[in-house]
Structure 1
C-alpha cells in the first residue's frame, strides 16, 4: 500500500525542488529590447518615407489650390507659400464671369452619370453572362471583349461622328455624348473576374429555391460584388469627367459643353486678355478636380473591401 504523504514530507519535497531550480543555471532569455528598438526604427523609417512620398504627391494639388487663390500671380516655387494678404476668391469670380461654372458642372455631371450608369448596367449583365452562365461561344466572346481594348478611340472617332452627328442627328445632345462610352470592355472584364470568385454553389442554391437568373443576379450576385461596383464607378467616373475631345467635336453650343471643354475654350480665347490668366485657369482646374478628389476620399475604403468570403460558411 502506498503511504499518504505527510505535510512535513510535502514541505521537504517543495524545499528540495526549489533548491534544485536555484542550482540549475537559468536559460538566458532572448533580449527583446533590441528587437523592439529595431521594429520601431523600421516603423519610423517607413513612416518618414511614406510621409515624404505623400507630400511629394500632394504638392501639385496644393500648388494648384494656392495658385488659384492668389490675386497677384507668383509662378515660382516660393509661390506655394504666398503672403496671406495676396489670397482671395477673385480668380473664381473672374472665371465664373467668363465661363458659367455651374452650367459646365451640370453638363459634366449629366454626361458622366449617363456613362457610368450605362457602363455599370451593361458591364454587370455582360460580366455575369461571361462568368456564370454556360453557353456556346463564351470564350470567344470574352476574347473579342479583350481585343476591343486594343483599338484606340481616336481610330473610331471619325466614323462615330458621322454616325451620331449626321445620321442620328444627336449633335449638341447629351445622348450623343454618352453613346460612344456606354459600353466599357474594361468594366466587363472586372465584373467577370469578380463573378468568377463567387462560389458556384451560391448560384445553384438560389436556382434550387426557384429564383430566375435576373433574381439571382439582383439578389445574390450584386450584394457580393459591391467592391467591384464601387471600383468600376470610380474608375469610369474619371474618363468622361475629364473627357475633352469627343464633347468638343459633338457640341457647338456653349450651354451644352462640359466644364473641361468650357475651360479649354476659355484658355484659348479669353485667358490672354485677363489680368491674371494663370490664377483663373487654376481656379477652373480646382473646380474640375474637386468632385473627383472628394469621390475618391469618400469611397477609397471600398477598393480593398470584399464581402465574397462572407457568403459561404466553412
Structure 2
C-alpha cells in the first residue's frame, strides 16, 4: 500500500511538471488555429484574442483563389505517399544488405552513409538541382519531385539496426531449408521489422509533407506546386496574406497530428526497437 501511494505521488508530480511544458508546446498551435479564423486586421490587433473568430471560410476561399490550395494539397499527398513507399523499400533493402551480407567495401559504404548525415542539405541540393534540371531535363516532372530525395541515410541505418537485432539463426535455418533470399527478406525479416517500418514510414511521410526547398527549386509551373510551396507564394514583396497562411498551416498540420496520435504507439515501439540492441 505504501509503495502504491509513493507511485501515485510520483505520478502526480510528474504530470504536474509536464503539464506546463505541454501547454507551452500547445499554445502556438492554438494561436495558429485562432489566427486562421481572423482577418489580417484581427491578427494584428493590439490585444491578444484567445478565442476563435468567424473568418475561416473567407480565409480558405481567398487561399484557394490565390494558390489552388486543394490541387496543391492533392499533389503533396500523392508525392508523400509515393515517396514514403519507395523510400521505405529502398532503405529496407539497403539496411538488409548491410546487416546480412559480407562484401568488399562494406565498411567504406557504412562510413560514407554515416558521413552523409553530417552534410547540410544545402550542400547537396544545388548539385542535385543542376544534375536533374540541366543534365537530365527532368524539372517540372513527378519524377523530379519524388525520386531524387529517395535515399535516406538515417533510414538505412535505422533499418540496418532493426535487422541486426533479429535472431540470425532464424534466417540461417530458412537458408538451410532452401528458401530464396528475397523470400527471407519479404516474408521473414520484413514482418518482424513491422514496428520499425511503421516509425520510419511516419518519419519519411512527414519529411516529404514538410519539404519546401526542393519542390520550390525543381518546379516552376503553378500546377505542379506542392502545398508548402503554395503557402510560401502568399508572401509577396508588398502584401502578405497572413490569414491565408494561417488557414493553410492549420489544414496541413491537423491531419498530421491526427495521424501521429493514432499511430504513436507504433512510432514509439519502432523508435525503441531501433534504439535497443
TM-score (norm 1): 0.79
Check whether the contact 1:67–1:80 (CA below 8 A) recurs between aligned residues. no
Give the aligned partner of residue 215 of structure 1.
Answer: 183
**1:285 equivalenced with 2:249 (yes/no):** yes
**1:180 equivalenced with 2:180 (yes/no):** no
**1:102 equivalenced with 2:66 (yes/no):** no
Deviation string 1:180-228 (CA, Å, 9 cap, x unpaired) is 2111111100000000000101101111222111000001000001111
Give the aligned partner of residue 240 of structure 1.
Answer: 208
Alpha-carbon distance in structure 2 between the residues aligned to 1:214 and 1:39: 49
After TM superposition, give the deviation of residue 54 of structure 1 in Å: 1.6
Alpha-carbon distance in structure 1 between the residues aligned to 2:11 and 2:51: 30
After TM superposition, give the deviation of residue 47 of structure 1 in Å: 1.8
Alpha-carbon distance in structure 1 between the residues aligned to 2:222 and 2:55: 30
**1:160 equivalenced with 2:124 (yes/no):** no
DSSP 3-state at the match of 1:80: coil
Deviation string 1:10-60 (CA, Å, 9 cap, x unpaired) is xxxxxxxxxxxxxxxxxxxxxx55x55444332222122222222221111
Deviation string 1:127-179 (CA, Å, 9 cap, x unpaired) is 00100123232222111111122222222222222211122111111111223
Alpha-carbon distance in structure 1 between the residues aligned to 2:55 and 2:179: 62
Check whether the contact 2:215–2:226 (CA below 8 A) recurs between aligned residues. yes
Gaps of 5+ in 1: 1-31, 310-314
What is the number of residues matched between the two proteins? Answer: 270
Alpha-carbon distance in structure 1 between the residues aligned to 2:268 and 2:154: 19
Give the aligned partner of residue 130 of structure 1.
Answer: 98
* Compared CA separation, residues 56 and 90, structure 1 to 2 (3 A): same
Higher relative contact order (CA 8 A, sep 6+): 2
**1:141 equivalenced with 2:120 (yes/no):** no
Alpha-carbon distance in structure 2 between the residues aligned to 1:143 and 1:88: 50
Alpha-carbon distance in structure 2 between the residues aligned to 1:146 and 1:105: 34
**1:81 equivalenced with 2:45 (yes/no):** no
Alpha-carbon distance in structure 2 between the residues aligned to 1:176 and 1:280: 28
Structure whose alpha-carbon radius of gyration is higher: 1
Alpha-carbon distance in structure 2 between the residues aligned to 1:77 and 1:288: 27
DSSP 3-state at the match of 2:234: helix
Gaps of 5+ in 2: none
